[in-house]
Each structure stands twice: as C-alpha cells, then as structure tokens.
Amino acid sequence: MENGITGQAFIYGCSAIGAGLALIAGIGPGVGQGIAAGYGASAVGRNPGAKSDITSTMLLGQAVAETTGLYGLVVAIILMFVKPFNM
C-alpha cells in the first residue's frame, strides 16, 4: 500500500483551494458597489433633481463592477464540478 497522496487527490485538493481563492474575487465588487451606492445617495441628497441620471449611472457602474465577482464564481464552479482527470 502506498503512503501519501495520489495524483488525482492532489488535483482535487488544488481545485478546491483554487475555488476558494476564486470566490475571494467577490469581496472587491461588494466593497465597490457599497461605495458607489453611498456616493450615489450622497449625490441625490445634494441634487434631488438629478435623481434619475444619478441612479442610472450608478446602476450601470455597479453592473460593470459585478462582472468580476461573477467571473470568480464561474471559475470556482468550474474548478469544483468539472473533473478533467476522472479515470
């Protein structure tokens, strides 16, 4: 009997670690969207007449910022559920 980790188990372990690291990508968009929402609320408070313009610009920026978090989620799902070396 062999002592140690097999090649396939090592790949699965590295995939799990990589998936966890990929999900860290969700922190940045969360912080960025919170900051954008805070500045948007502040801008509406200063100029209520421009509420629709501010809101649409803020939501567009948040949608763009969210793509990095979604890419991280997709990479994590691929790493966890796609097993390229099943034998």
Selection from 35, 31, 36, 22 nearest residue 70 by Cα:
22
Per-residue pLDDT of the chain (87 residues; tens, 9 = 90+): 466 777 788 888 888 898 888 888 888 888 988 898 899 999 999 999 999 999 999 889 888 888 888 998 998 888 888 876 565
Q: Do the beta carbons of residue 55 and residue 40 sit within 8 Å? A: yes
State the pTM of this model: 0.70
CATH classification number, 26-81, choose in 3.40.50.12280, 1.20.20.10, 2.30.40.10, 1.10.4160.10 = 1.20.20.10
Between CA 35 and CA 31 the distance in angstroms is 6
